[in-house]
Amino acid sequence: VPDLRVHRRSAPQTVEHILRGLPDWFGIEEAIREYVADATTLPCYVALFGDRAVGVLLLRRHFPQSAEVHLLAVEKDSHRRGVGSALLAAAEADLKADGVQFLLVHTVGPSSDSEPYARTCEFYRARGFVPLQELKLIDWDGPTLILAKTILPRGEECT
Ligand SMILES: CC(C)(COP(=O)(O)OP(=O)(O)OC[C@H]1O[C@@H](n2cnc3c(N)ncnc32)[C@H](O)[C@@H]1OP(=O)(O)O)[C@@H](O)C(=O)NCCC(=O)NCCS
């Protein structure tokens, strides 16, 4: 197995390629186009096996103390090989160095009964995210679950 590496770099074409390969999670054309556009402006992390890009993460910063995983996607053939975890770890290291205390993520909520998104939620919980609240109609036509994780303990944050 080639080494897994993570780089911070702009990669809109990689975002498009990976999202088009995940129709169970990203099936809405307009949403894909928005993520590709977002990839030209937001901080972007790319995971590579050798020279092959297998995963992407986009970050948004809301306040000095908090950030959000705007997009996280790993190509289907590379699931459960540590790619999503490596992308999160790289982003968290940079945010921690920048004094960010909380990392948030929005995903499809449990009341949607989506089996693929139930697995996504398992991943976030395994990575230390805690479910905070399920809200309806904030990102799409169905329920959104907001999860959060402490990345910098109280007292170590920048003021
Ligand atoms: C969710 C996703 C990013 C996870 O990335 P990944 O590289 O497959 O995850 P990792 O290999 O780093 O998994 C780390 C741990 O999370 C948990 N986990 C990951 N995928 C899981 C699954 N399908 N079911 C249950 N637990 C899971 C496990 O505890 C896993 O550790 P283990 O493999 O040693 O048991 C990836 O599956 C993906 O891109 N899914 C489709 C798109 C998506 O859901 N994006 C997020 C939208 S909000």
How does pLDDT run across 16-73, given as a tens digit for each residue? 999 999 999 999 999 999 999 999 999 999 999 999 999 999 999 999 999 999 999 9
Residue 119 in contact with ligand 1 by CB distance below 6 A:
yes
Q: What percent of the chain has pLDDT over 70?
A: 97
Rounded to two decimals, what is the model's pTM?
Answer: 0.96
Residue 99 in contact with ligand 1 by CB distance below 6 A:
no
Centroid of ligand 1 to alpha carbon of 81 (angstroms): 8
Query: Is it the case that residue 117 has pLDDT exceeding 80?
Result: yes
- Segments in 21-114 forming alpha helices (H): 29-38, 83-97
Nearest-angstrom CA–CA distance, 130 and 121 = 10
Q: Strand runs (DSSP E) across 21-137, as ranges?
A: 44-49, 52-63, 66-74, 102-108, 130-136
Could you report the per-residue pLDDT of 126-138, keeping only the tens digit for each?
Answer: 999 999 999 999 9
What is the pLDDT, as a whole number, of residue 158?
A: 60
Of 38, 1, 5, the C-alpha closest to 19 is: 38
Residue to substitute in 77, 123, 124, 139 for testing ligand 1 pocket (most ligand atoms within 8 angstroms of CB)? 123
Mean residue pLDDT of the chain comes to: 95
Asked whether the CA dihedral 18, 80, 86, 72 is positive or negative, the reply is: positive
Centroid of ligand 1 to alpha carbon of 69 (angstroms): 14
